[in-house]
Structures are given as C-alpha cells and as structure tokens.
Amino acid sequence: MIHYLIDGSGPLLAFVGILFAFGFTCLMTTKFAGRLPRDMGRDFAVDGKLSAGKPRGAGLIFILVFAVSALLFSDMNLELFIYLAMVVVEMLTGYLDDASDKPWGEYKKGFLDFLVAVIIAVTFLKFNSSSIELATIGITVTLPPVVFGILAVILVWVSINVTNCSDGVDGLSGTLTIVSLMSIYVIGQIKKMDPEYSYIILLFVVCILGYLWYNASPSILMMGDAGSRAMGIFIAIAAMKTGSPFLYLLIAGVLLLDGGLGLAKVFLLRFFKIHILKNTRTPLHDHVRKVLGWSNTQTVFRFTIIQIVISVATVYLLMMSVIR
C-alpha cells in the first residue's frame, strides 16, 4: 500500500518494512500475550504438562502482524492477496481450536485444511503454469492441470499438518520453518523468483523471529495451532512459487520426518491396521527426548543443524544444475 503513496521508495521502504514487522511483532506480543488462551498441558507429549498455564495461540499475533506488514510494505497483487488471506484463514482455524474448551476433531480440521488447499491449488493454476522443474537435475515437466492441482492439494495439506505436528518443543517448529523459508529465499534468488514473493518470505521470517524472542527455551508463550498451521501453508506456497515444488521434500525434510512419520503411523494403523515403527515414539522430537535423552535445547539445535546441512547441499546441487 505504501508503494502507491510514496514513489521511488524502493529498497529503503523494504528495509523499513522488515524492521516494522519484527518490532511490531514484539510490541504486540508484549501487549497482548496475557489475553491469549492458556495451555492445558498435553497428556501424551513428553513433558507436556510443563506447558500448562502458558499463553498459547500466539500465532494470532505474529500472523496478523505479518498480514498487516505485507499489505503495507509489499507490492500486493490478486494472487498474493489470496495466498495472504488463506494464511490468515489457517491461522484463525488454528486459533479457534486453541481457544476452544473442547479441541476440534481431527476430521474437522483435516477437512478445513483440504478446502484451503483446494483454493491454493486453483489460485496457483490461475496465475501460473502447471510446469514443474526438477531443479537439481535441470529437467522441466509440464503436467496436466488436474494432476498438478491434485499434487498441489496434497503438498499444502501435508505441509500444514506436519508443521503442526512438529510444534512440541520450545523454538523447534519456528526455527525449522525459518531455515526452510530462508532456503527457499536463496533458491528463489537463483531461479529469479518474483521479488515481491521473495520479500514476503523475509517479512514472514522476521515475524517468526519476533515470536521466538518469547518462545526460546524456556518459553513464556506458545504459538499453538494458530501459528504452526499458518507456517505450514506458507512454506508450501513458497515452495510452489519456486517452480520446483518437489524441493519441499529437501528444504523441509526435517519437518516432514518429525511430523510426517506420526501422521503415517496413525493413518496406517487406523485405516489398514498396519502398525509401523512400534519402538519409535512420534513425533520424532518426543523420541529423541524420551528415548535418547536429548534436552529440549539439544533437540532444537540438532534438528536445525540437520536441516541446514540438507538445505546447503540442496542449494549447491541447484547451483551446479544452473551452471551446467
């Protein structure tokens, strides 16, 4: 919006926008954290009861600040506005669950995620081609729009839910999301992503950083589903905008394994009576803390280190494919 009011603002305005997003996140969190719903503790998570009484649903704050920052400081277009609206919708569905005395059922949340994923897929196909670049080997494949749409729905739905499942240790899902998004940002620079989408990634990252100021172990508040579900959908959209959505498997690999194995385990047992990973607790962050004895800090650092290594290797492969 400010772009239309101030001519020639360019990089300086973008710089101000990033500072605004971080500072306003911290300010609003300080002011409104006490009004958030309180966590009841989780019976089945490792040390889940220790979170009882902490404010949860802080995603309401940093996602709304992100939305305001994007509207004020980015060069908004219709496609970007729809994506922004869907991120806010996912945040709101998560927050309503966080604030509810009776948690929403898995099927209700899963169906809502499906509807949002369909809107994202249709929007993407409206403004982009159905071509997919297998970036690390430099091959481009054009898929039928229906096939692309189905794959896009799966990507968005999975990303929302694995990111949600990974939110169980102070700072873990937020830090991993930052690494994934900054990996996408670097890839976007290599692949000449639209500058406005690259800038939106930076705004989202600094809003998460503002939240992590309060969520670093030992945390004083938690993002809840309001934050994790919004982060998941944003990662999926960002991956799709690179033109190489399969890169999600690498740049969000730790999130996918941490949260995804639990989803796969429950799905196979519930619908096919197949019991896998009998000796492995899921999400994996519970396994390494309970079985391997990692502290919360070790879990966050080691999971993050693994993702950074994978991301660096992925970026290198992509750069080599571009040079060839």
Q: Tens digit of pLDDT for each residue in 45-68? A: 565 556 667 999 999 999 999 999
Q: At what angle do helices 253-272 and 172-190 cross, to 10 degrees?
A: 120
- Proportion of the chain in helix, strand, coil states, percent, rounded to 5: 70, 5, 25
Count of CA atoms in the C-beta half-sphere (13 A) of 282: 20
Q: So what's the pLDDT on residue 55?
A: 93
Using the 8-state DSSP alphabet, how is residue 219 labeled?
Answer: P
Q: In sequence order, what are the beta bridge partners of 140?
A: 133
C-alpha 163/C-alpha 87 separation (Å) is 14
Most distant CA pair in the chain, distance: 62
Task: Name the pLDDT band for 8 (thresholds 50, 70, 90).
Answer: very low
Residue 289 has pLDDT above 90, yes or no: yes
Are 261 and 280 in contact, with CB atoms under 8 Å apart? yes
**Looking up tokens 């945390």, which residue turns up?**
219
Cα distance between residue 247 and residue 318, in whole Å = 10
Q: Is residue 161 pLDDT above 50, yes or no?
A: yes
pLDDT higher for 215 or 279?
A: 215
Q: What is the mean pLDDT of residues 73-94?
A: 96
Summarize pLDDT for 170-215 with one digit per residue, the tens. 999 999 999 999 999 999 999 888 889 999 999 999 999 999 999 9
Which of 32-41, 118-127, 131-140, 286-295 has the least mean pLDDT? Answer: 131-140
**Where residue 43 falls among pLDDT bands split at 50, 70, 90?**
low
If you average pLDDT over residues 10-28, what whole number do you get?
A: 94
Q: Read off the pLDDT band of 279 (50, 70, 90).
A: confident
CA dihedral for 77, 78, 82, 88, sign (positive or negative): positive
Q: Does position 7 have pLDDT exceeding 70, yes or no?
A: no
Least confident of 139-143, 146-150, 300-304: 139-143
Going by pLDDT thresholds of 50, 70 and 90, the confidence category of residue 216 is confident
Residue pair 162/232 in contact by the 8 Å Cβ criterion: yes
**Consecutive H or E run containing 20:** helix 10-32
How much of the chain exceeds pLDDT 70, in percent? 93
* CA–CA separation, 190 and 184 (whole Å): 10
CA 14 to chain centre: 22
Min mean pLDDT across 98-112, 253-267, 297-311 is at 98-112
Share of the chain above pLDDT 90, in %: 73
Residue 152 has pLDDT above 90, yes or no: yes
Per-residue pLDDT, averaged over 213-242, amounts to: 95
pLDDT per residue as tens digits for the range 184-195: 999 999 988 888
Q: Phi, psi at residue 132, to the nearest 5°?
A: -125, 130
* Number of Cα atoms under 13 Å in the Cβ half of residue 124: 29
Q: Of 251 and 324, which is predicted with more confidence?
A: 251
Q: Quick one: average pLDDT of 287-303? A: 96
Q: Quick one: which of 266, 269, 291 has its CA closest to 280?
A: 291
Is the confidence at residue 165, as pLDDT, over 60? yes
What is the distance between the terminal CA atoms of the chain, rounded to a whole angstrom? 40
Whole-angstrom distance, CA of residue 98 vs CA of residue 63: 15
pLDDT in tens, 62-75: 999 999 999 999 99
Mean of pLDDT values over 14-33:
96
E strand map for 236-297: none
Beta strands in the chain (DSSP E): 131-134, 139-142
For position 322, what pLDDT does the model report? 74
Confidence of residue 1 (pLDDT cuts 50, 70, 90): low
